[in-house]
């Protein structure tokens, strides 16, 4: 009996919310504002995706030579396997670049220690750490998935992933630098357009 009354109360609450939404949707001004907000969010999403993809592309091209050294020379992956993994990994990696930008921004915000902002070196190290973690959190799972699909063994994947984590911590500052410069460039370009 108690479950029924709880369900009935939730149903009544839901019906009240639906009635309020119907009232709001009948007002043309509110509908126009809602549509404008949706368009703005969509435009912001595609702008952000364009900027972050450009930054990630520059980062990938400038640091990508190291992957040949890691996977083929140190780990010992055959060329055809390396090429398969690389093609699939690159495709999968670029599909979610917007997510990488979001992860980076969230980590920068949450890992920033306010007292470090006064000291440039400590601020740089703090940002470097956040950028490195975001790169690893985004790229390593994508790499593992691509490598498993291409049939690499778990030992090779584990060893390569550990090398990539080291690589991300080595080049994390460079990714952050490119991301910041690319965002600043496109922001300046948008200001000129307006």
CA distances to 90, 97, 131, 161, 183 from 56, in Å = 11, 7, 12, 19, 11
CA within 13 Å, CB half, 182: 20
The pLDDT, as a whole number, for residue 144 is 94
Which residues touch 24 (CB under 8 Å, ≥6 apart)?
30
CB of 89 closer than 8 Å to CB of 142: yes
Contacts 24+ apart (CB under 8 A), 94-97: 94/53, 94/56, 94/57, 96/138, 96/142, 97/49, 97/52, 97/53, 97/56
User: Residue 26: is its pLDDT beyond 80?
Assistant: no
pTM to 2 decimal places: 0.73
What is the rounded CA–CA span in Å between residue 32 and residue 97? 31
pLDDT digit string (tens) for 30-43?
656 667 777 888 88
What is the rounded CA–CA span in Å between residue 33 and residue 50? 26
Total tally of structural domains belonging to the chain: 1
What is the rounded CA–CA span in Å between residue 56 and residue 58? 5
pLDDT digit string (tens) for 158-193?
999 999 999 999 999 999 999 999 989 988 876 666
Q: Show the domain range for 61.
A: 2-193
Average pLDDT over residues 126-154: 92
User: Residue 141: is its pLDDT beyond 90?
Assistant: yes
What is the rounded CA–CA span in Å between residue 1 and residue 12? 17
The pLDDT, as a whole number, for residue 1 is 47
Least confident of 6-10, 37-41, 64-68, 138-142: 6-10
């Amino acid at each position: 009996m108690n479950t029924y009354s709880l369900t009935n109360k939730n149903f009544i609450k839901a019906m009240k919310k639906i009635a309020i939404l119907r009232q709001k949707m009948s007002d043309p001004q509110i509908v126009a504002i809602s549509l404008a907000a949706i368009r703005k969010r969509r435009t912001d999403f595609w702008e952000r995706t364009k900027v972050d993809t450009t930054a990630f592309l520059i980062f990938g091209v400038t640091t990508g030579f190291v992957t040949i050294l890691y996977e083929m020379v140190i780990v010992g992956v055959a060329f055809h396997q390396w090429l398969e993994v690389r093609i699939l990994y690159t495709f999968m990696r670029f599909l979610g670049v917007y997510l990488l930008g979001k992860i980076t921004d969230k980590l920068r915000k949450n890992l920033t220690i306010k007292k470090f902002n006064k000291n440039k070196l400590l601020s740089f190290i703090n940002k470097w750490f956040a950028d490195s973690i975001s790169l690893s959190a985004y790229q390593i799972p994508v790499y593992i998935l691509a490598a498993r699909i291409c049939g690499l063994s778990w030992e090779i994947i584990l060893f390569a992933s550990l090398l990539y984590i080291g690589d991300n911590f080595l080049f994390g500052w460079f990714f952050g630098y490119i991301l910041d410069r690319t965002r600043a460039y496109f922001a300046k370009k948008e200001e000129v357009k307006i």
